[in-house]
Amino acid sequence: MILFYLWKKKNKKKKFRIRTAFFHQGHISEDERVGKSILLNKRAYCKLLRTATNINTLEYSEELFKEISKYYNITPETKFIVCGDGADWIKNTSHFLNAKYVLDKFHAVRKIGTVFNLKSKYDKLQFKICKGLFKNGEYTKLVTHLEYFKNKSNLITKQNNLLNVIKYLKKRKDGVIAYKHDWCLSACAEALISHTIKAQLGHGNKIYSYDSFRNILVLRVAKINGLSLVKEMFKEQLENKDISLENMKMAKWNNNANNWLYEPKKGGMPVMDYHTTGISKALKEITAVR
């Protein structure tokens, strides 16, 4: 979940959150890709809400299942794996889907890091050991290793963090043990959220009006889901006006002669021909709040 501010009416800044779910079917095989790992048939689903708005987990789980069913052929034999940062609603969703649960490594390792003083070589080594145990799904060894540091003088100021991390891991035992198994795809929730949501917010450097950001979010999610909303809306507008898309020049390279066949030069600027029939109204429809 991401918390951030958006401008509402009368220039009042309000706090919002986004609950995001990504779906995929594993990774594209190495034979079919070049370089970095790519998720197979990735799709997304987002809810933009005020921070005070409660979400019923059961109802939300049902929403997710309906969304999943839109994009994939779900059968009684379909197996689900739910990956996340350890939030209770994520684990409860995994129960609803009768899914295996994987704890997101990024969040878990970051929490474990709060236990140690990383300026100390000894603590750095212990942190490295903990990361290795987590990566290999060695839940029992990891918790035992952390419990060894209870009341240790070198970590006396970190005891609250230590107890919280141990409690966090114990509550999500299955999510750690999952890393032992071949079916575990690891979790990439933070990277997906960063690229999809946080990038649109400028990683905290931008602030939008509610309507503007909602439109940006809708277009971004639509693109991930293989939809071109702008194209579909233009088609809808053209069909309503009985105008052929082929005959309507969506964009052009302008020169002084206003010649449609003008060849673009290096450094030229493509602009919309605002005189073209229907474009102005279609754009207003597309950018209008829906």
Residue 274 pLDDT > 50, yes or no?
no
Q: What is the percent of the chain with per-residue pLDDT over 70, rounded to a whole number?
A: 65
Which range of 85-89, 162-166, 255-259 scores highest in mean pLDDT? It is 162-166
Which pLDDT score is estimated for 135?
Answer: 93
Which pLDDT score is estimated for 102?
Answer: 92
DSSP assignment of 152-197 equals -GGGGGGHHHHHHHHHHHHHTHHHHHGGGSTT-----HHHHHIIII
**Pick from 183, 217, 244: which residue ends a domain?**
183
Domain identity same for 1 and 72: yes
| Least confident piece of the model among 89-98, 120-129, 167-176, 277-286 | 277-286
Asked if residue 84 is part of any domain, the answer here is no
Domain identity same for 204 and 159: no
Domain identity same for 34 and 178: no
Residue 29 pLDDT > 60, yes or no?
yes
Average pLDDT over residues 144-159: 87
Q: In what order do the strands lie in the sheet with 43-50?
A: 2-7, 13-23, 43-50
Asked if residue 85 is part of any domain, the answer here is no
pLDDT band at 27 (very low <50, low <70, confident <90, very high): confident
Domain identity same for 136 and 254: no
Asked if residue 25 is part of any domain, the answer here is yes
Domain identity same for 3 and 19: yes
Which pLDDT score is estimated for 128?
Answer: 95
Q: Could you read off the pLDDT of 43-61 as tens digits, one per residue? A: 888 888 888 788 898 999 9
Residues 6+ apart with CB under 8 A from 238: 244, 245, 248, 278, 282
Domain identity same for 19 and 71: yes
Which pLDDT score is estimated for 103?
Answer: 92
Domain identity same for 221 and 239: no
Q: Could you read off the pLDDT of 94-120 as tens digits, one per residue? A: 999 999 999 988 889 999 999 998 889
CB 198 within 8 A of CB 28: no
Which pLDDT score is estimated for 255?
Answer: 45
Alpha-carbon gap, residue 273 to 253, rounded angstroms: 9
Average pLDDT over residues 117-128: 92
* Closest C-alpha to 1, from 39, 46, 36: 46
| Least confident piece of the model among 107-111, 124-128, 149-153 | 149-153
Asked if residue 210 is part of any domain, the answer here is yes
Asked if residue 179 is part of any domain, the answer here is yes
Average pLDDT over residues 252-257: 46
CB 86 within 8 A of CB 110: no
Domain identity same for 197 and 177: no
Which pLDDT score is estimated for 115?
Answer: 93
Domain identity same for 128 and 62: no
Token pair, residue 151, equals 């009341």
Domain identity same for 170 and 199: no
Average pLDDT over residues 209-220: 78
**Pick from 127, 151, 183: which residue ends a domain?**
183
**Pick from 183, 210, 240: which residue ends a domain?**
183
Asked if residue 125 is part of any domain, the answer here is yes
Q: Which domain covers residue 233, as residue numbers? A: 229-287
CA 28, 106, 193 angle in degrees (round to 5)?
65
Residue 145 pLDDT > 90, yes or no?
yes
Domain identity same for 173 and 114: yes
Average pLDDT over residues 192-212: 68
How many distinct structural domains can be found in the chain?
3
Average pLDDT over residues 143-168: 90
Average model confidence (pLDDT) across the chain: 77
CB 155 within 8 A of CB 116: yes
**Beta strands 43-50; 13-23: pairing state:** antiparallel
Asked if residue 192 is part of any domain, the answer here is yes
The single residue listed with the structure tokens 């690229």 is 195
Domain identity same for 70 and 192: yes
Asked if residue 145 is part of any domain, the answer here is yes
Which pLDDT score is estimated for 67?
Answer: 92
